[in-house]
């Protein structure tokens, strides 16, 4: 038997040792060639698998050597040849989504998961359509970038790919075609916040205007009481009307999106998450139970659900609120998830929420999914601050200018007046630990990555990406 990757090791190449793998008598790896990280493959002559790759070919002993760019078609071919590179379903495992706004963070994410051990199933490809629009990337690019990072670090365990915060059937189709396995439906635009303060007379009128399939009498909940572990949930007329008015159209939108996904996916398996976290008011236990009951009645199957929890889940910082109150509220949501599922509770904007992680894991008994997105971008900026202070100062100055406009669609409380002025900063990497500056940098990522000078050239992105690529180890 040939030693693993022996042909590539015999070649005069600057290989990344951790990337080397042999599968079906073909050697695969990555190598630095003329300043670029390239795919290298050594296969027997006449091997049909090589035909799927585009690149330069040369003889290497009794084999053929392929040197190929890391492009979309070669990422697709690599996923076809190495089955562990294809995203898979994660089921009810404790899981974490690791968003990557630059396409360079997956090697670091893989190393973090390797260090954590086997207790958490990762989603390495995760980005919302909003984030894609702000960064100028596509779902396919997000999945391909994750593929190259997974391959580089030789991760061969399962991982998922999350098409996050989908709002339209077109979003679903786009991500399904790209190869995603996990679909997060965001019906936030259909949540009616008038229900929070409307008197019962108004609630009756608003409910009557809903489609027949959403009317109170069709739910089977009117004047019922659900006893779920320590909870007693009574659906009197006011409770049910308020809940239906607030979430009825949102539930219908989720069901319509789920049925579209089912039709379009055919026999291909997938997982569905329901996200109702982007609302002003927390999701009550009765509202959660209504959502779950109605989704089941409408024929929807889902693996996780993100309610709007008590307290404040701001971007890039720890949980703001009463941790004991959060734990008590989450205990109720977890009981409901066990009763109607089981399914996982999902924690959105979950990065940096260290104070509540123990409570979430305890109350859900491990049935939890954590979503993070912006932390890897902030750590990229920390790397830049350490390597090129002038560039980071430019980015921070620009971010301050963009903050008031960019904060609108995010839940943040940072104030420019509380963030240090550029001239006041003495330790630039430490600026990432200051509450207000951290949030300012967090939510302005899209503006930073797409900013252009008057001549049309990128203001920051080319320098930022080049610096990170040439310093991959410090970033990872």
HSE toward the beta carbon, residue 290, CA cutoff 13 A: 33
- What lies within 8 Å, CB to CB, of 365 at 6+ separation is 334, 338
Q: Which residues pair with 41 in a beta bridge?
A: 28, 66
| Rounded-to-integer distance, Cα 418 and Cα 436, Å | 6
| Rounded-to-integer distance, Cα 194 and Cα 178, Å | 38
Angle, helices 323-340/357-364, rounded to nearest 10 degrees: 30
**Rounded to 5°, angle at Cα 425 from 421 and 428:** 120
Catalytic residue among 164, 287, 352, 406: 164
Asked whether the beta carbons of 274 and 215 are under 8 A apart, the reply is no
| Rounded-to-integer distance, Cα 295 and Cα 251, Å | 7
Give how far Cα 432 sits from Cα of 317, 439, 462, Å: 11, 9, 22
Q: Which residues pair with 241 in a beta bridge?
A: none
Catalytic residue among 273, 278, 294, 352: 273
| Rounded-to-integer distance, Cα 220 and Cα 228, Å | 17
- Report H helices in 200-307: 200-208, 216-219, 237-265, 285-297
144 is catalytic: no
Q: Which residues pair with 226 in a beta bridge?
A: 233
Is the C-alpha dihedral spanning 447, 132, 351, 278 positive or negative? positive
Nearest to 132 by CA among 142, 122, 147, 124: 142
174-206 in b/e form (b: 16+ CB < 10 A) is bbbebbbbbbbbbbbebbbeebeebeeeebbeb
Asked whether the beta carbons of 98 and 372 are under 8 A apart, the reply is yes
164 is catalytic: yes
| Rounded-to-integer distance, Cα 181 and Cα 175, Å | 9
User: Could you give the residue numbers annotated as active site?
Assistant: 164, 273
């Amino acid at each position: 038997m040939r030693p693993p990757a022996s042909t590539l090791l015999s070649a005069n190449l600057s290989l990344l040792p951790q990337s080397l793998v042999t599968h079906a008598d073909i050697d695969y790896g990555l190598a630095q060639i003329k300043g670029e990280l390239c795919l290298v493959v050594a296969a027997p002559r006449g091997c049909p698998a090589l035909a799927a790759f585009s690149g330069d070919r040369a003889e290497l002993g009794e084999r053929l050597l392929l040197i190929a760019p890391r492009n979309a078609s070669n990422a697709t071919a690599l996923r076809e040849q190495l089955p562990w590179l294809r995203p898979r379903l994660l089921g009810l495992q404790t899981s974490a989504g690791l968003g990557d706004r630059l396409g360079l963070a997956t090697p670091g994410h893989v190393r973090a998961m390797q260090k954590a051990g086997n207790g958490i199933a990762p989603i390495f490809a995760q980005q919302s359509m909003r984030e894609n629009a702000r960064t100028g990337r596509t779902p396919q690019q997000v999945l391909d970038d994750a593929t190259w990072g997974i391959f580089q670090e030789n991760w061969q365990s399962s991982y998922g790919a999350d098409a996050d915060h989908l709002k339209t059937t077109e979003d679903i189709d786009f991500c399904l075609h790209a190869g995603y396995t996990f679909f997060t439906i965001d019906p936030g635009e259909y949540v009616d916040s008038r229900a929070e303060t409307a008197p019962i007379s108004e609630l009756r009128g608003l409910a009557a205007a809903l489609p027949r399939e959403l009317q109170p009498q069709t739910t089977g909940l009117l004047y019922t009481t659900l006893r779920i572990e320590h909870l007693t949930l009574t659906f009197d007329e006011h409770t049910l009307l308020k809940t239906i008015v607030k979430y009825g159209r949102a539930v219908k939108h989720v069901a319509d999106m789920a049925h579209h996904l089912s039709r379009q996916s055919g026999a291909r398996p997938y997982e569905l998450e329901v996200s109702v976290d982007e609302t002003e008011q927390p999701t009550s236990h009765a509202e959660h139970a209504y959502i779950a009951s109605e989704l089941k009645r409408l024929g929807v199957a889902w693996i996780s659900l993100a309610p709007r929890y008590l307290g404040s889940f701001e971007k890039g910082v720890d949980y703001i609120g009463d941790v004991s109150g959060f734990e008590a509220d989450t205990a109720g949501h977890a009981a409901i998830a066990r009763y109607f599922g089981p399914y996982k509770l999902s924690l959105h904007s979950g990065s940096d929420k260290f104070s509540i992680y123990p409570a979430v894991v305890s109350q859900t008994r491990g049935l939890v999914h954590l979503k993070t997105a912006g932390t890897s971008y902030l750590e990229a900026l920390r790397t830049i601050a350490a390597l090129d202070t002038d560039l980071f100062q430019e980015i921070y100055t620009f971010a301050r200018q963009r903050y008031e406009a960019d904060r609108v669609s995010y839940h943040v409380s940072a104030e420019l007046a509380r963030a240090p002025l550029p001239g006041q900063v003495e330790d630039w990497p430490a600026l990432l630990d200051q509450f207000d500056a951290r949030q300012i940098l967090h939510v302005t990522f899209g503006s930073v990555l797409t900013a252009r000078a008057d001549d049309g050239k990128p203001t920051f992105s080319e320098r930022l990406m080049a610096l990170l690529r040439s310093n991959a180890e410090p970033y990872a």
